Chains A and B, each alone.
Chain A
Amino acid sequence: MEWNPMSDGAAMEKLTQVFRDVLDEPDLRLARDTTAADVDGWDSLAHIQLMVAVERAFGIKLTTGEIANLADVGELLDLVVARSGS
């Protein structure tokens, strides 16, 4: 995959907004290496809501494995960029 800073930046912005809305944390900031442990409220239940909200925002569908095994925000970002760009 080609590195495309513009689309990554836009996707990160959109992703951040989704996380802010779902977690009700208007000041939340995400980085590529952010994990669930770093974010207040990102527990296993919020994770389901986040994944559904991300799917809707980007018009994509995540697989069961992806939902279960996401390591950090960077991985999620790569997924949504790859899939919503195609």
Chain B
Amino acid sequence: MEILKTLVERGDLGPARARLRTLARSETDYLRFATLCRWHDRLTARDPASGEPGAGDPLRVALLGGASMDLVEKPLRLALEAAGLATDLFRADYGVIAREMLDPDSATARFRPEVAVVAPTVFDVSTWPAVGSSPEEAAEAVERVVDEWLRLAGSLHDRVGCDVVLNNFHPLPTRPLGSAGTRIPWDRNRFLREVNHALAARAPAYVHINDVATLASLHGVLRWFDHRFWYHAKQPVSLECMVPYVRSMAQVVGALRGKSAKCVVVDLDNTLWGGVVGDDGVEGLRIGEGDAVAESHKAFQSYLKELGDRGVILAVCSKNEEANALEPFDVLPDMVLRRADFAAFRANWSPKSENIVEIARQLNIGLDSIVFVDDNPAERAEVRRAIPDVRVVELPDDPADYPLALDATGWFETVALSDEDRVRGRLYRENAQREALKSETLDYEGYLESLDQIATVGVFDETSMERITQLTNKTNQFNLTTRRLTRTELERYRTDPGKLGLHVRLADRFGDNGLISVAAGHLDGDTFVVDLWLMSCRVFGRGVEHLMANRIAEGAARLGAARIRGLYRPTAKNGLVAELYPSLGFAAVEGAVGEWVIDLDDYRPFQPAIRVAEPANGVESDE
């Protein structure tokens, strides 16, 4: 919201509009959504043209409500734009659906919509089965109601040629017949279910049912419908559920116009499975049965599999060594998804936005067809910032909620499934194998700046030793020597005069990452030898290694060293840092494999995009 305000104040209306769409896509709270609607009004007033997400004239959409649509209109307008549609929205007077759809001279007919969104409520059901109706009589009543709505839709369609999006009926919040109603033909909830079934079964190709019934059930009918505001002002839906209501309508319209997403790009560590494969190893991952977190991740894989089965393309984008990323798919029996389920698989250390651009190119789909799922908010922010067209799921903290969060977006809404949908995944996977991969440079520096990173650098101290010991003994990837040391051994870097231990804590605008990097070394003559240097994979590529290098150089100088010697000991998992020392300006030591050296006079400090806070434990005090 702050970014949006800044953009509007600066007069950057196009980017402001894009930001607004991004916010509106994932906002679920009505009052905040209403605030976005006001920004939408202001932006539209200042520059109507900037609301144009694609080429061509705006889509003409008519909204016909059985109830008051006054509070629905603006949220729907914004939801349509968030779904990728520039629209010209016309709201008919309420309570006159039949006349608007039948009368060739109605305001709706004169508007000539391309899509009519018809939103009746249960109060628009004209016929209910009489008390004591037989099954046949109840069935006749069902047919009468269905005939009525399909005749209205047909009338408007025949006259102006529009598609019709028709809301079905959510259950009533009372059930005077109780559970017995399931067997009684004139039970009203049973009747509404039959109407909904028949509407879907009999709808012609130009009528698209918006399944309000299921949506209201998911949210809870008692929450969905607020009687007080029905009696007071004929509100069709509670304000609490206004956003899912309008979003659902907008997404069916969007699906009609091909605006639905085609591909979901997922992260691996702590997304598809619990744990970090590079650090915890395949055997340490949590996926499968017998552990609640492991089951949660398995359920998420199952949900993705269901998406895949209906034609959504699956792809992987992970910061990992490729071999590490692939291994779980081959060796873990509880994985629901297999390598063959993914049309693209990118595991490397480049920014995720670059990888997603590459996936889009490889699959030959637009960035606006891609949904990105990652548990790490910093990665989500990087993608949002670099490639705003990609839809980013605001993933909750609990993996058990992942399927719900992805499902609730409605971004894969479709109006029909074709045979091709069923095999699309395979087609894309085959295409993927034909494509060569290229790299793409995006504005990564800007992303780092936007993170507002703030670090605290300290020497080893009593309060940090436990975490330092833990990190030293579990970090595999960014770990130059992979030396495992006991707390006692590590204490020597705190107490011995010729030794130095450093740690870095990093926070950013998403929160505190805690203590994420450790380095330690000793003085050997006039050479400072780096015995240990490691960093949590959570903060790869953020510039912490440059900050640490600077501090190692300063610390070595304080100890009176003239040069620094660094060691790299290769393991199966630390290929990431094989070239770290040369990238910092160190030169290979002749005749010594994996040893690098630099004179302190030649060391040029880096300028990482990290602000350094005052050290908590007086790192400078021994100067």
User: Could you tell me which A residues sit within 8 Å of B by CB distance?
Assistant: 21-22, 24, 44-45, 47-49, 52-53, 56, 62-64, 67-68
Contact = CB atoms under 8 A, between A and B. Distances in A.
Contacts, number: 38
A47 B68 CA distance: 14
A48 B31 contact: no
A64 B228 contact: yes
A48 B239 contact: yes
Contacts of A52: 30-31, 239-240
Given A24-B38, A45-B70, A48-B71, A67 B31 contact: no
Interface stretch (B56-64, B229-237, B374-382): B229-237
Nearest to A57: B31
A63 B71 CA distance: 21
A30 to B, nearest CB: 18
B366 to A, nearest CB: 35
Nearest to B38: A24
Contacts of B228: 62-64, 67
B34 interface: yes
B227 interface: yes
A48 B38 contact: no
Contacts of B38: 24
A38 to B, nearest CB: 21
A64 B31 contact: no
B257 to A, nearest CB: 29
Interface of B: 30-31, 34-35, 38, 70-71, 227-229, 231-233, 235, 239-240
A24 to B, nearest CB: 6
A22 B31 contact: yes
B35 to A, nearest CB: 8
A56 to B, nearest CB: 8
A56 B235 CA distance: 18
- Between A24, A44, A48, A67, the greatest number of chain B beta carbons within 10 A of the residue's beta carbon is seen for A48
Contacts of B233: 44-45, 47-48
A67 B232 contact: yes
B206 to A, nearest CB: 33
Nearest to B39: A24
B130 to A, nearest CB: 30
B408 to A, nearest CB: 21
Contacts of B71: 45, 48-49
A53 B35 CA distance: 13
Given A45-B70, A52-B30, A52-B240, 5 more contacts: A22-B31, A49-B239, A52-B31, A56-B31, A64-B231
A21 B229 contact: no
Contact of A49 (B34, B227, B231): B34
Contacts of B239: 48-49, 52
Nearest to B71: A45
Contacts of B30: 52
A40 B31 CA distance: 19
B232 A48 contact: yes
B34 A64 contact: no
A57 to B, nearest CB: 10
Nearest to A24: B38
A53 B32 CA distance: 11
A64 B227 contact: yes
B222 to A, nearest CB: 13
- Between B35, B231, B239, the greatest number of chain A beta carbons within 10 A of the residue's beta carbon is seen for B239
A21 B232 contact: no
Nearest to B229: A48
Contacts of B232: 48, 64, 67-68
A72 B109 CA distance: 43
24 contacts: A21-B31, A22-B31, A22-B34, A24-B35, A44-B233, A45-B70, A45-B71, A47-B233, A48-B71, A48-B229, A48-B235, A49-B34, A52-B31, A52-B239, A52-B240, A56-B31, A62-B228, A64-B227, A64-B228, A64-B231, A64-B232, A67-B229, A67-B232, A68-B231
B581 to A, nearest CB: 55
Nearest to A62: B228
A53 B233 CA distance: 16
Contacts of B34: 22, 49
B27 to A, nearest CB: 15
